[in-house]
Amino acid sequence: MVAASPNPIRNEKMLAVDLPVIDLSAPRSEVSKLIVKACEDYGFFKVTNHGVGQETISRMEEESLAFFSKTASEKHRAGPANPFGYGCKNIGFNGDMGEVEYLLFNTNKASIAQRSKTISEEPAKFSSAVSDYIEAVKELACELLELIAEGLWVPDTSVFSRLIRDVESDSVFRLNHYPHHHHHLKATSSSPTSYNSNRVGFGEHTDPQILTLLRSNDVGGLQISPQDGLWVPVPSDPAAFWINVGDVLQAMTNGRFVSVRHRALTNSFKSRMSMAYFGGPPLNACLRALPEVVTPEHPLLFKPFTWAEFKKTTHSLRLGDTRLNLFRISSSHEERVSSMN
């Protein structure tokens, strides 16, 4: 377990990798194959030509920046996050800390409208920007999940997306703001104004939901960890979305996809703001591996669970804990299941 800490571990290795970039305007069969491969290799990829309108993105960014530019006392009127609303420094329920302030929303329009009254002097304008953005990225998330189902040769191509489309979907939307830190500026022989971006804004973790759609302003800081102790910096691209597999999708693909561990570091020069849509299932949804991905060569890895059960587990653990391990089937159980097939 790695909790959010002021500095990354000293023996970590950084590696520059060309992460998958998928053009959604390419032929559908090609796109679905590329997405599946990216989910298997990294649990992470970038999409371009995604169809989310620039006006929708710009409105959301404008409203977000206006809120985070307020004084601390003004922002705290929208909190404390319990779990929705404004939060600062505290992450989750168990003492994790980071150099981040955020707004967290339930994706229900009525809830957003009510919450906006404590966030903006023009709550209708703010609420409209948030709701329109969520609707646009939800449609993109569903399209990606249907492409994934096609790439896995699952007959029911809505098997993942209908969990998000459900009116009881427990999806959430989060705006993260990472203030810059002037006192980390330092000169080096190669660059007199280089910076030491080694403060953890949001600590190492996986996302518990199905799929995350993330975009940020033109400031780096996001990193993924494809293996222990190895970190890959993710280049910023405000025109694209970065997609990462969540714990639920790893379980439903029987471990074929990986729920990628990631974190965000702060930047000494500029503040970073990101918008994350977490596509989640209804609380009562029973989540299990699809039959198409369970074979004698790849026996069942995880016990079925409801999202409510998994969410409760998430809230009981620290940020960096591996939640899925608590639902992993023992080897003896695997042998019994295999012998029955």
Which residues carry out catalysis? 272
Per-residue CA distances from 266 to 148, 180, 197, 295 (Å): 33, 6, 6, 44
What is the distance between the alpha carbons of residues 313 and 326, in angstroms, rounded to a whole number? Answer: 9
Amino acid at the residue 69: S
For residue 110, give the DSSP letter: H
Which of helix, strand or coil describes residue 64? helix
Nearest to 203 by CA among 289, 296, 266: 266
Residue 226, preceding peptide bond in cis (omega within 30° of 0): no
What is the distance between the alpha carbons of residues 206 and 308, in angstroms, rounded to a whole number? Answer: 17
Residue 12 · residue 5 · CB < 8 Å: no
Q: Is 39 exposed, middle or buried (0-12, 13-18, 19+ CB in 10 A)?
A: buried
